[in-house]
Structure 1
């Protein structure tokens, strides 16, 4: 038996033997549970299985396919290591019953994962995940598998994904003027992105040579996560040498996209909230979101998207964290989460897709530099500042203890502003399902604290909003940034004390 449970994005754990580890036994039980769930719910069709370049991913994918075939399912293996968005696309393109992606995304090199997509192309969510876990628990000690030869998805599915991605970028006269540096961060997105980039008509970019080839050890970064400090340092150096206007980066499985723009003599990373708002404004002003299209983000994202949607007469909805929730927002035409995940084409990929997002971001930058677009957002909607932080906590029980501590003894002030509301997000709500987390409000400052669903972390999301059309946007941004940084330090001190445990 394994105590690995479904989190924000599937099953993830450190690879190793025994309960609580990611291994072939867990993959077999998960595949048995998926097959049982599909049979019990009379869901017909094949199951598509994809994998990335992490240690063991190809072997785990083969194991999943063997168990699914033994359970009477047609299992189709993706032709080679490919990004997660291609697998999510294949599920809908092939009218599959489900999809499995073997990946731990941006987790450390020691981890791997099992991500499940259902027939609509979105990630598994309650109550399906609970039903699958129950079937996993009832699996026999020796899960049946077959040694029959594998059946592979054709390259035509990859070509179809690329052709669809290229259609998201209309003809633009000034694409040659854009200078871009790019890194796949040792992951599997590099080749797929290069082909999509070329099909969309962009000029060649400068690739970070040290990170271009897939490498499951991620040797140049402490963590293969573009959000982590230092992860994009090599990309910034490559950009400086190439005199690039823009830096684009993918996480190892290609479903998230990081962006850096020029800032003085160097480059600065844009937050997920900044990129999310830029994409929303661009898609709306260019007429690509219909009158009934809904914009979606999560409860830990900036309120900026609400203002953008309202200005364009569209509805903005908020969900729990994770694209398993965002993709299911009724009528969703665009969605993003602050953790660098963007969905710009939900009809094709009902999940975050770093490759198609990067194409649209580059398209924006060819006509108007992103710095100017950010200034226009500030002028129209006011200054919005986000400051995500994370604290590594290996023991999940300690994370629960910290949340209880925050509820029982919240800070009286954040950055000099009295705390006026503390909300337990695990309590029943009329709007959203209960989730582990605490929301603290102090005037215009909002902080949400929750355990990560993919890594041993406690995540802190802080944001503050200023007035619309500020007289001096730069001064207000500096003031709000300082205020939020102070609030973040204070909140971390409340959570863990002055013990140097804070990261980020």
Structure 2
């Protein structure tokens, strides 16, 4: 389709006019590289053109998903469509539902925004053929996205993504694709999700005081409902960040991992004397945890939370179930979960980055089932039987449950992390991101590293291996291990570097942590020079 044809058939007069007003060079750039399905579906800036999120792209993508489902024998089946509260989300979700309906599918959608895990839950709960969530999760306020689930509420993987992309190239012009109005559903499925999220609580040991922020996203109300249903009634919210707001006015980036983003939450936690602080990202599929420490409140890393939740889940299983249980983490996450799993007698699987792979970690393992999966970017799947994706709300319930559980033993989460370190060695992790202009710059950086990898890091000889789009640098000795993984982001214009140091613990845990921290800084310094 030529640029002129695209503009002439753009169903949104705003983006059509925007494209028509661009100078030829910029307009050509918009058409040079159409959006493709990456780590979490389609994502891009909200603006005109095939390289961005707009009504024309959404309509044609939905037509393509319909074609692939029909070709796979799911024509006329149920599909679920949800959305967050970002700019454009309401329009995009309505169009998605209407295109599916016109293609003969039975569509379940809601008038109001819903967290991403609600859609994943609904697809699995109903046995639906597919689900689409309009969301850009924690991306900048200028972005939006289109996330696709197929059977079982699992994110699509190849060949489905490539089949959809191929179908998009054959799609009619956007204004020629039929659409049919759809009636919105009641809250039955949403209520079922909340009730299920509350059941991840395993103990009956009181109620910690909780500080919670929804980060201007759509998870606040349902998180409160799930926490209350689980028996956690002492919850205090960051009022300025509770209501959905697509402009995210109090944060530079709506990502709980970004420095300073959780400041308001930690201030509230200190003010009310909370026992735990919880930050959801804007679509509530990710959960960050803050804890009181001797020198003040701090946010746990995604890896630290992953160790704690993984160990807690495995500790609650009986021996027969543990032997057939699988926990999973991604290649860029810490290696410690593997040691924790071995200690409990469970299986540990390492997958490629992204929950489309983590959710399938038990595939092919006869008689085994996934009980927990996490990735370092604060994504946690704590109830795979119900939600085969990361779920910030159920993770929040389990994190509060863990705080109550250890408090009943006279301990804190800091104490629990110390126990894990003494048992399995100190593990420190840190990530470094470099923003790039586009995919070409990211590819050039990765090619340089593949062709000329360092032979030494922090005084240790390292070997380099390439797996997919990532470069792995590993080394160490009997006392220490060092590891660096470098890969381009699948959702943002960034190249990411993940570092980990493992240090054996002798009689002095604090000294082991100091050694590991010093090595970590040396690894990060090396990475900054690449």
Fold match, TM over 0.5?
yes
Match of 1:30 among 35, 39, 61: 61
Match of 1:351 among 360, 368, 389: 389
Match of 1:400 among 421, 424, 443: 443
Alignment of 1:388 with 2:431, yes or no, is: yes
- Per the TM alignment, residue 154 of structure 1 is displaced from its structure 2 partner at its CA by 2.4
- Per the TM alignment, residue 286 of structure 1 is displaced from its structure 2 partner at its CA by 1.1
Over 3 Å counting, the alpha-carbon distance change for 1:356 and 1:99 in structure 2 is same
Give distance in 2, aligned partners of 1:470 and 1:100: 51
Contact 1:187–1:253 under 8 Å retained in 2: yes
Equivalent residue number for residue 377 of structure 1: 420
Give distance in 2, aligned partners of 1:142 and 1:271: 43
- Per the TM alignment, residue 79 of structure 1 is displaced from its structure 2 partner at its CA by 3.9
Counterparts of 1:321-336 in structure 2 under 5 Å? 321-330=353-362, 331-336=369-374
Question: Match of 2:469, SS?
Answer: coil
Query: Which consecutive unaligned segments of at least 5 residues does structure 2 have?
Result: 2-30, 363-368, 407-411
Counterparts of 1:488-503 in structure 2 under 5 Å? 488-493=524-529, 495=530
Contact 1:165–1:356 under 8 Å retained in 2: yes
Query: Which consecutive unaligned segments of at least 5 residues does structure 1 have?
Result: 426-434, 496-504
Give distance in 1, aligned partners of 2:154 and 2:194: 19
Equivalent residue number for residue 428 of structure 1: none
C-alpha distance after superposition, 1:368-387 (max 9, x if no partner) = 12111111111211111111
- Per the TM alignment, residue 26 of structure 1 is displaced from its structure 2 partner at its CA by 0.7
Give distance in 1, aligned partners of 2:436 and 2:292: 34
Give distance in 2, aligned partners of 1:194 and 1:146: 39
Contact 2:213–2:241 under 8 Å retained in 1: yes
Contact 1:236–1:267 under 8 Å retained in 2: yes
Match of 2:73 among 10, 22, 42: 42
Give distance in 2, aligned partners of 1:250 and 1:160: 20
Alignment of 1:437 with 2:460, yes or no, is: no
Question: Match of 2:434, SS?
Answer: strand
Give the total of aligned pairs.
481
Which one has the bigger helix percentage? 2
Match of 1:455 among 461, 483, 492: 492
Which segment is superposed worse, 145-154 or 96-105?
A: 145-154
- Per the TM alignment, residue 265 of structure 1 is displaced from its structure 2 partner at its CA by 4.1
Give distance in 2, aligned partners of 1:314 and 1:423: 28
C-alpha distance after superposition, 1:33-53 (max 9, x if no partner) = 100000011025211100001
Root-mean-square deviation (CA, aligned residues, Å) is 1.4
Match of 2:259 among 198, 212, 229: 229
Counterparts of 1:34-433 in structure 2 under 5 Å? 34-44=65-75, 45-142=77-174, 144-146=176-178, 148-170=180-202, 172-175=204-207, 178-287=208-317, 290-330=322-362, 331-368=369-406, 369-419=412-462, 421-425=463-467
Question: Match of 1:151, SS?
Answer: coil
Question: Match of 1:387, SS?
Answer: strand
- Per the TM alignment, residue 171 of structure 1 is displaced from its structure 2 partner at its CA by 5.0
- Per the TM alignment, residue 152 of structure 1 is displaced from its structure 2 partner at its CA by 2.1
C-alpha distance after superposition, 1:232-273 (max 9, x if no partner) = 011111111112121111000000000111123421111111
- Per the TM alignment, residue 80 of structure 1 is displaced from its structure 2 partner at its CA by 1.4
Give distance in 2, aligned partners of 1:23 and 1:190: 27
Equivalent residue number for residue 18 of structure 2: none
Contact 2:323–2:347 under 8 Å retained in 1: no
Which segment is superposed worse, 363-372 or 248-257?
A: 363-372
Give distance in 2, aligned partners of 1:209 and 1:328: 37
- Per the TM alignment, residue 54 of structure 1 is displaced from its structure 2 partner at its CA by 0.4
Give distance in 1, aligned partners of 2:131 and 2:200: 24
Which segment is superposed worse, 254-263 or 38-47?
A: 38-47
Equivalent residue number for residue 52 of structure 2: 21
Contact 1:166–1:200 under 8 Å retained in 2: yes
Which segment is superposed worse, 482-491 or 113-122?
A: 482-491
Which segment is superposed worse, 475-484 or 348-357?
A: 475-484
Equivalent residue number for residue 500 of structure 1: none
Give distance in 1, aligned partners of 2:67 and 2:295: 57
Alignment of 1:475 with 2:511, yes or no, is: yes
